[in-house]
Amino acid sequence: MSNIVNYQAFDKHAVITLNNGKVNAVSHQLIDELNDALDKAENAGLVTVITGQPGMFSGGYDLKVMKESMDAAMALVERGSTLTRRLLAFPQPVVAACSGHAVAKGAFILLASDYRIGVDGAFKIGLNEVAIGMTMHRAGIELAAQRMPLAQFNRSVICAEMFSPKQAVQAGFLDIAVPEEQFQATIENVVGALAGLDKKAHHKTKLKARADVLARLDAAIIEDRTSSL
C-alpha cells in the first residue's frame, strides 16, 4: 500500500501534503498517515503546514466508505472529528495551505487550523453536507460555530452555500487568499512569524482560548457516535 500523505521536515517547519487521488479523499488510511505525520511534527516541535495537491486541498470524506453503510460512515466521521479536535489543540501552530478546492471535511480541516492561506482562483470552499443528503453532525456544527460569523454559519451549515477563496476569508474558512504566484512566499512568511512564537505560551494560550469549544467537541463526538447522519 503506497503512502498518500507525505511528510517533509525543514529547519523551522514541517510540510504535510495530502495526496489521495483526484479529490484527496479523507479515508481511514489518510487519517492514519496524517496522524503519524502530526506525531513527527509534534515530536520535532515544528510549525506544521498541511497542504494538498495543486487545485485540490481535499474534497472531503471517502465516498466509498460513506456509502458502504451507516455504521461505516459514522465510524469514519468520528475519526475525522477526533482528528480536527487534535488540530485545534495541537502544541505547535498549524497552518493550512489551501491549494484549491476544500469541501466538507477539507473545509473542516481549515476551520481547525490556526492560520489558513488560500490560493485565489476558481475554487470552491465550504460545507456541502446538506446538499448531498447528510444531516450535519454535532461535532461539525460545533467546529463551524467557533470559527464562522453567524450569518455565514447559517448560509454554510444550514444552506450548504459554497464560497470562493475571497468569500471564504469573510466566511471564516481562510485568513488570507493570495494569487497562485504569491502562495509559496506567503506560506514561508507566515511560517517565519509563527516560528518566532514562544511554543509553551502558544500552546497554553490556545488551550485556554479554546477550552469551551474543545469540551463541546468532546461531548459532540460522543453524541454523534449514537446518532445517525
Cell digits of residue 170? 469573510
Give the count of beta carbons closer than 10 Å to the beta carbon of residue 55.
14
Cell digits of residue 180? 497562485
Q: Residue 220 contacts by C-beta under 8 Å, 6 or more apart in sequence?
A: 81, 137, 138, 139, 141, 142
Q: For the chain, what are the domain ranges? A: 5-225
Phi, psi of 162 (to 5 degrees): -100, 150
Instruction: Give the pLDDT of the chain (229 residues) as one tens digit per residue.
Output: 679 999 999 999 999 999 999 999 999 999 999 999 999 999 999 999 999 999 999 999 999 999 999 999 999 999 999 999 999 999 999 999 999 999 999 999 999 999 999 999 999 999 999 999 999 999 999 999 999 999 999 999 999 999 999 999 999 999 999 999 999 999 999 999 999 999 999 999 999 999 999 999 999 999 998 876 6
Alpha-carbon span 129 to 23, nearest angstrom: 16
DSSP SS3 for 169: helix
**pLDDT for residue 228:** 67
**pLDDT for residue 227:** 78
Cell digits of residue 150? 453567524
Adjacency order of strands within the sheet including 162-163: 55-58, 100-103, 125-126, 162-163
The H or E element containing residue 201 is: helix 199-209
Cell digits of residue 112? 481547525
Q: Which CATH class is domain 5-225?
A: alpha beta
Only one residue has cell 500500500, namely 1
Q: Is the pTM of this model over 0.85?
A: yes
**pLDDT for residue 2:** 75
Alpha-carbon span 101 to 85, nearest angstrom: 22
